[in-house]
Structure 1
Amino acid sequence: MRELARWGAGALGIAVLIIVWELYKALGPADGLVIAGVRVLPRTSDLAMPHVWDMVARLGEPVSRADGAEPLWVAVASAALVTLGIAAVGWLMGLVVGLVLALIMQRWRLAEWGLLPWIILSQTIPLIAFAPVVRSWGSRIEIGAFEWQDWMSVALIASYLAFFPIAVGALKGLQAPDTIHLELMRSYAVGWWKTLTALRLPAAVPYLLPALRLAAANAVIGAIVAEVSTGLQGGIGRILIQYAGQASGDPAKAWGPIFGAIVLGLAAAGSIALLGAMLGRYRRVEVGA
């Protein structure tokens, strides 16, 4: 019943969003709301705000008027799968880097003092400006027959956004056990590694799962933005730009990749929910401890 209530709440939220969209389109000013020369609410024309049913119907129509053109939803799904694969690689890289940093900071307090400020500061770098630099650096890497691919730059940028919540969440979780439990381990002369595997890692699960979910969403965002910035072909970021340029003649088409990006983010978060279900027995740990 609890799961049904969650799904029902999610469906209700989508329904409310659709109703608000259509009500504003029907009742809002045609030129939007402008205050002091700044438009704070969008125009309600079909070009700026297509009807929801028009956007959904457009997904089943061909991408273009060319003979044999595939439906729009097929093109969006294919591009989303490409981006999902790259984001998954970035998430795995971020997972490894984040966990290693968290373990180092937990093991040595001096490392935490020295690394944590820089980890936080790293997230202030503008991603749009950083992505072309990463691609330029990657294109200069030559190791034998190895050749750097453009998708690797996108995966690296995705991992750059993914590692931060994992590092912070894992560190918080590794420091979560009660002092009395740590003292008990020391009284039995249990080493750091055994304490880590038997006490700290299980205690870190309730902190790590939300961090992994946030990292998955960040990896998807990073992959899409990096695809736009680096010009990588085949991903959903590329068709976002391509279809947006065609919005003046086909406004509903531009929303197809947006829907695809939303589903992509939900799929990434849902995969972490499955992981959380497998680790459900650790959810009994007191998060406030």
Structure 2
Amino acid sequence: MSLGEAWRRRARVALGAVGALAVGVLLWEGYKAVGDPDGTVVAGVRILPRADDSAMPHVADILGRFADPELAGGDPIGLVVLSACLFTLRSVAVGFGLGAAVGLLLAVLMQRLRVVERGLLPYVVLSQTVPLIALAPVIAGWGGGLSLGPYPWQPWMSVATIASYLAFFPVAVGMLRGLQSPAPIAEELMHSYAAGWWRTLVKLRLPASMPYLFPALRLAGAAAVVGAVVGEISTGTRGGIGRLVIEYSREATSDPAKVYTAMIGAALLGLVVAAVVGVLEFLLSRQRKAYP
């Protein structure tokens, strides 16, 4: 794929995302205009949400709240949400990096030793069934008694650990599949050149795993954001977007539009992480084409 084709492809993706957002706004406002204020009920079961202002504020009202002060004479809500997202971004970045590194190491180890794959992979899958909301306080409790040399354990480090716990899984599974993707004839060719395991890994398996790695990294980035938000909520860590969601939800009855500002901030944080992974993929793909 040429550089121009790559740019056109990304432009189509961007236009598709904008179009999907526009459709979502139209559906939101359309249902609000024609929907029942008490919700659509079938056989005594509410199948669609209430369409009144307390449950579904107008999109314009939600966006307008970003410019309003959080408190009388205080900073605008948009600035508060941005500050909270930047606070959470630190935990997301550390958790994402740590989780990706652990996932890569596990994938290489499982590919190298089949007995490790058979013994470890079921537990890797099983680890994702543990309720995160119950695990977060345990990790925070363990972290309270630790220190990194002269530096005491900080609450955001517990959040980063929780984020890495969710982030390592898609990388481990996706990278393992990528490392196992080369055709047998390609492996036989490397053996005919007397290439050892390390050279085969570097020259054959790692390049072949790139189409599997970056989708896994995008999933890991989204999982890291979810882990950080849930971790902040579960551990009571202040300053992040997760805590802001809880604080704003207390005003859901009196100021429902304010609740959605924190939710939009968390969603945008996930998009930023996915965009960073996309940029990294683009830069690496250009480098591979420039140095074949």
Deviations 1:248-272 (Å, cap 9, x if unpaired)? 1111111111110111010000000
Aligned match of 1:100: 105
> Is there any run of 5+ residues in structure 2 with no aligned partner, and where?
1-7
Task: Give the alignment partner of residue 42 of structure 1, picking from 49, 68, 80.
Answer: 49
Matches within 5 A, 1:45-60: 45-60=52-67
Aligned partners of 1:56, 1:281: CA distance in 2, in Å?
38
- The percent identity for this pair of structures is 53
Residue 270 (1) aligns with residue 275 (2): yes
Residue 232 (1) aligns with residue 253 (2): no
Count of residue pairs the alignment pairs up? 282
The 3-state SS of whatever aligns with 1:39 is strand
Aligned partners of 2:237, 2:44: CA distance in 1, in Å?
37
Deviations 1:181-235 (Å, cap 9, x if unpaired)? 1111111211111111111111111100000010000000100010000000000
Q: Relative to 1, partners in 2 of residues 1:143 and 1:73: Cα closer, same or farther, differing over 3 Å?
A: closer
Query: AA paired with 2:27?
Result: V
Contact 1:104 1:111 in 2 (8 A): yes
Residue 72 (1) aligns with residue 55 (2): no
Aligned match of 2:17: 10
Aligned partners of 2:109, 2:231: CA distance in 1, in Å?
29
Residue 33 (1) aligns with residue 45 (2): no
Q: Which moved more, 1:147-156 or 1:32-41?
A: 32-41
Aligned match of 2:27: 20
Matches within 5 A, 1:135-154: 135-141=140-146, 145-154=150-159
> Is there any run of 5+ residues in structure 1 with no aligned partner, and where?
285-289
Alpha-carbon distance, 1:147 to partner: 1.8
The 3-state SS of whatever aligns with 1:177 is coil
Aligned match of 2:92: 87
Aligned match of 1:287: none
Q: Relative to 1, partners in 2 of residues 1:114 and 1:172: Cα closer, same or farther, differing over 3 Å?
A: same
Contact 1:206 1:283 in 2 (8 A): no
Aligned partners of 1:150, 1:94: CA distance in 2, in Å?
18
Alpha-carbon distance, 1:82 to partner: 0.8
Alpha-carbon distance, 1:51 to partner: 0.3
Aligned match of 1:159: 164
The 3-state SS of whatever aligns with 1:34 is strand
Aligned match of 1:212: 217
Aligned partners of 1:2, 1:184: CA distance in 2, in Å?
34
Aligned partners of 1:283, 1:215: CA distance in 2, in Å?
23
Q: Which moved more, 1:175-184 or 1:161-170?
A: 175-184
Alpha-carbon distance, 1:283 to partner: 9.1
The 3-state SS of whatever aligns with 1:227 is helix
Task: Give the alignment partner of residue 245 of structure 1, picking from 244, 250, 256.
Answer: 250
Aligned partners of 1:30, 1:142: CA distance in 2, in Å?
53
